[in-house]
Amino acid sequence: MSAVTYTFLGPEGTFTEAALMQVPGAADATRIPCTNVNTALDRVRAGEADAAMVPIENSVEGGVTATLDAIATGQELRIIREALVPITFVLVARPGVALSDIKRISTHGHAWAQCRLWVDEHLPNADYVPGSSTAAAAMGLLADDAPYEAAICAPLIAAEQPGLHVLAENIGDNPDAVTRFILVSRPGPLPERTGADKTTVVVPLPQDHPGALMDILDQFASRGVNLSRIESRPTGQYLGHYFFSIDADGHAADSRVADALAGLHRISPATRFLGSYARADRQPASAAPHTSDAAFASAHAWVDSLLKGS
């Protein structure tokens, strides 16, 4: 019996499962596909799973905004790991179907967007049939009354499914496409600081004025903390109300990151900490001397000594 249980954005055979398989021990763990990001995360929140693997950036499975929103609200969660998966697409159909037979193609909307150049060139008259995932679109072909003749999906699903025939490979517009996935658990001890870490926060814009975003960015800049991702998301409450999802270089155990977090909390008290974890690319962060742990410790010791009257 497996000691560890993972949920992931399913179905099986998507890029997300490929990301999960990068986690040591995942092959022996219980892996539960979920139909959407919210479900995958809610089962972790409920204690039914230890962690969930979901796409966070540039996904073809609908991950980006759904994930950003799902982890920004509700019961708190923590990102404990990230994974990168190269994205390639294949066009599949039932055996015997030729390119010239294809009038309708199904896939997830994001995958469709990423194969537009190939489709425009090779199947300019094909109609698009929305699918809930690339894998679902592919599996749908196996039904007798499938309302489309072809699907765009990950090579993984095509390879595992004998009823599907690959008509074209590498049909994505961008050969270097990669998707970033995150492994999310309930709050607990932070992953160890490795020196090549990333910290993710969600910061609601406290007021509707241009200075607010600059004040937020300044919390990082003034401590020499580099940002590798910043994305706005509407809160959905009313037009012009946003939160920002931010990845910063470094670990909350780094003094300059801790100090920036404290600054964010003061400016925007609803700031949500989503975790500190090792970078998938292992690139170490660089810090100016005046933002080192030693510089912070020295500064605080100095101020303490002043307050004690010495």
By CB under 8 A, name the binding residues for its own copies: 57-58, 64-65, 109, 114, 128, 130-132, 174, 176, 178, 180, 187-190, 208-211, 213-215, 217-222, 225-232, 234, 236-240, 242, 252-253, 258, 261-263, 265-267, 269, 273, 290-291, 295-296, 298-300, 302-303, 306-307, 309-310
In the complex, minimum distance from the CB of residue 239 to its own copies, in angstroms, rounded to a whole number:
6
- Give the integer Cα–Cα distance in Å for 261 and 158: 45
CB closer to its own copies, 7 vs 271: 271
CB closer to its own copies, 103 vs 209: 209
- Give the integer Cα–Cα distance in Å for 195 and 297: 18
- Give the integer Cα–Cα distance in Å for 295 and 44: 39
- Give the integer Cα–Cα distance in Å for 154 and 170: 10
In the complex, minimum distance from the CB of residue 5 to its own copies, in angstroms, rounded to a whole number:
21
CB closer to its own copies, 167 vs 280: 280
Residues of 108-120 as b/e, b for ≥16 C-beta within 10 angstroms? bebbbebbeebbe
In the complex, minimum distance from the CB of residue 194 to its own copies, in angstroms, rounded to a whole number:
16
Contacts 24+ apart (CB under 8 A), 65-71: 65/233, 66/36, 66/37, 66/38, 67/37, 67/182, 68/231, 68/233, 68/245, 69/233, 69/236, 70/37, 70/38, 70/41, 71/41, 71/184, 71/202, 71/274
Amino acid present at 46: A
In the complex, minimum distance from the CB of residue 299 to its own copies, in angstroms, rounded to a whole number:
4
- Locate 219 and state its tokens: 């919390």
CB closer to its own copies, 4 vs 217: 217
Contacts 24+ apart (CB under 8 A), 95-102: 95/163, 95/165, 96/165, 97/149, 97/150, 97/165, 97/167, 98/167, 99/123, 99/167, 99/168, 101/149, 102/126, 102/149, 102/150
CB closer to its own copies, 4 vs 230: 230
CB closer to its own copies, 30 vs 218: 218
- Locate 179 and state its tokens: 């998707």
In the complex, minimum distance from the CB of residue 229 to its own copies, in angstroms, rounded to a whole number:
6
In the complex, minimum distance from the CB of residue 226 to its own copies, in angstroms, rounded to a whole number:
6
Closest CA to 95 of 162, 176, 172, 45: 162
In the complex, minimum distance from the CB of residue 27 to its own copies, in angstroms, rounded to a whole number:
26
In the complex, minimum distance from the CB of residue 74 to its own copies, in angstroms, rounded to a whole number:
12
- Left (φ > 0), alpha (ψ -120 to 50) or beta: where does 74 sit? left
CB closer to its own copies, 24 vs 211: 211
CB closer to its own copies, 79 vs 167: 79
